[in-house]
Amino acid sequence: MTIRKGQDWGTTGELGAHDPIVSSDRAMAELFSFERGELNGPTLVGLVGGDLARTVGATGTADDLRLGARTTLPIDLGIVSIDGSDHVMVASLVVRRAGWRGEVTVVMNASFLGSWNVAPKGHPNDGRFDVITAEMSLANRWKARSRLATGTHVPHPDIEMRRLKSGSVVPDRRARVWIDGRLIGPASRVEFVVQPDAARVVI
C-alpha cells in the first residue's frame, strides 16, 4: 500500500545472501523487466547509491547491508514507453534538448537529480510522479539552476509542477530522452505510468 499522510513508512528486514545491492538508479532499473504487462524483478534490493538512495536517506555501505536487520522501504517504480518500447524507471525521466534549451520535462520518482533537488516535495512511494515542465529564457534558466541544489527553484511562473499517476510527452524533434541517467535517444512520443509498491529496498 502506498504511503498516506501521517503514516509510518517502512519496516525492518534482512537481505539474503543472493539479494542484489546496487549503487546507482540505472543499476537498479536493470534488475527489472516489463514484459506482457507484467513487472518482474527481485524481491529485495540493497540500496547504497544513486538519486533514489539520497532521497530515502540511505547511509549504509554494501557491507553494512549484509550485517543484519535494516530499514526496508516499499518503493514505486515507473514504466516508460518510448515509441512502443518499454523501459523500467527507478528515479527519473528527462526529456530535453542539448544545453537544456527549449521545453524541458522531468518526471521524478525521487526528489534528487544528481546534485539538484528537483522535486523537493516528492515521495517515491505515494503512487504519483512529480512532473516538472519548464521553458525559460537563458537568464531565467541560470537563475533557476542556481536554486536547484536547495529546491528553492519553485514556485516559479515558468515552471509547471503536477503530480500524476500517468502521462505523456511529445518531445521536440531535437530533444533526447534519459531514464535514470541513461541516454535512450530521440523519441516521437513518451508515455509513463506509476507502478505502486513495485519494489522493496533495504537501506
Categorize the per-residue pLDDT at 144 as very low, low, confident or very high, splitting at 50, 70 and 90: low
For residue 25, pLDDT over 80 is answered with yes
Which pLDDT score is estimated for 188? 95
Q: Where are the domains of the chain?
A: 17-76+197-202, 86-196
Return d(Cα 153, Cα 144) in angstroms, integer. 5
For residue 150, pLDDT over 70 is answered with no
Categorize the per-residue pLDDT at 102 as very low, low, confident or very high, splitting at 50, 70 and 90: confident
The predicted model scores a pTM of 0.86
pLDDT single digits (tens) 10-23: 899 999 989 999 99
Report the mean per-residue pLDDT for the chain: 89
Share of residues in the chain with pLDDT > 90 (%): 70
More confident residue, 152 or 96: 96
For residue 104, pLDDT over 70 is answered with yes
Mean pLDDT score, 60-68 = 93
Long-range contacts formed by 97-104: CB under 8 A, 24+ apart = 97/172, 97/174, 97/175, 97/176, 98/174, 98/176, 100/141, 102/135, 102/172, 102/174, 102/175, 103/133, 103/134, 103/135, 103/172, 103/175, 104/132, 104/133, 104/134, 104/135
What is 86-196's CATH topology?
Answer: Tumour Suppressor Smad4 (2.60.200)
For residue 141, pLDDT over 80 is answered with no
Which pLDDT score is estimated for 156? 56
